[in-house]
Structure 1
Amino acid sequence: MLVYNHYSIKKKQAVSSFEKAILWGYTDYRNALNDQDLDNIRKESKFVKALVQLKQYDKLTLLQQSGGYVSANSDSLPIFTYEVASDRNLLAVKNFFNLDSIAGNGDEISKIRNIMFFVANSIKYDGSNWALCEFDAIDFYNYHKATGKGINCRHKAMTLNEMYLAMGFKSRYVTCMPKDDKDTDCHVINSVYAETLKKWLWMDPSHGTFVMDDNNNLLSIEEVREHLKNNQSLKLNAETKVSKLWYLDSHVS
């Protein structure tokens, strides 16, 4: 009886602490859902109720409740063009990094992947660091080599963007913003156009990651969003530095 009461009291204390954590601003539903340290209280009625309350903050749940992209009239905006590979600055990037060698002799998709992996593996990632250098691919690379410090996701994406443009790929870097206007975090990735597939592809040089469906088709940002919204299966490339659970269900959802 004493042993039973001891564990009963411990469970009540654990549930109470969990409730207080939510009250004080804890919002990580996915972590609570998968944290094995909470397994012994999952059947407690107050924990079940608290978990339901926590779900309202879940990024994936919020995404699944959201609508599609909203189209906007762009007639009044300046005509957008991509810098050509013959640009003097892009030629300097191509020659500095020897991008022909990095890209390799394979098909278009393998070149896109190889260049992304180079940025992922050759320049350390540090999401909290703002590089104190000129904002271009060569200077970001030299900054890392000179200081040993990593660069953040925006600077990584800017670096990859210049390399893609230098190799003749249409490319842009895209800031992924949270729906919660109180959440100041964001993540920056690349969207590069593959002529052979006639589509844009999601490339993330911070984590060495791209996203695929069950048939190994590489996906665009919009396609990843739709798959997440519709609870369709997704997977990451084998070379990625992160887990699918953290990356898709929390970090970018």
Structure 2
Amino acid sequence: MKGPLKKVVFHHGEATVTIEAGGKLEVINLPVLIPGTSDKWQYQVEEVKSTDANYETTVAVDNEQMTVGTESSVITLDDDQTRHVFFRNAKRAGDFVLTKTVDDPRNVLTGQTFNFEVAAADKFDSENTTFDGTISGSDGQTHSRLKVRLVTGQMQFKIDDNEWKTSLQLKANESLSVVGLPHSLQLSATELGASQYDVISSPSGEANGDRYTTKPVSLADGKTSGITITNAPRW
């Protein structure tokens, strides 16, 4: 066995160990038979992860097929036998796009900026984890790059070396794109100062005073979920 030796201590039939990503732990000299009987000890390995973990876990024992879950099948041992338990964590993430459009045949809103907030329904917190974002035009050209984080469900934005802000400005036909967000996150967008326009959105939304908030979209693993908000000037 390679690497330093450490004790694995069982309390009431359970032992807790920690393994780094890509690491391996070998436990030796485990008892085979329950004392005074011909019955074998039964072992099971479980990976403990937080409820907001942004990855999918699969597990297998020896040559079993990897299956989704955090608990191995039940394991018994024979004398001098080694059994292998494999865990694999795969990141599950989706992308988000917020697009601003205008219904403006007379170009009244040309060059105007619009203010937005983005929030998660479940108050997800990633204050110590940032995600990459871009603001781009309808031609696909990147106008700026930014960092994004979520603090108790509120999306915050940082462009260049500026401070974190809870609102973001987009011009007509610009889009905010954020990649690698946790899958199943539910995001809604709010336009500030929206009462001066006729506003429609996909998904639909609701006006509340000077704010217009969309219904949330759910992020899916490996896919892009989007919100589009369209303003029309009032004549």
Provide the TM-score with structure 2 as the length reference: 0.26
Structure having the larger proportion of residues in helix: 1
Instruction: Please identify which structure carries the higher strand content.
Output: 2
Which has the bigger relative contact order, CA under 8 A and spacing at least 6?
2
Q: Tell me which structure has the larger Cα radius of gyration.
A: 2
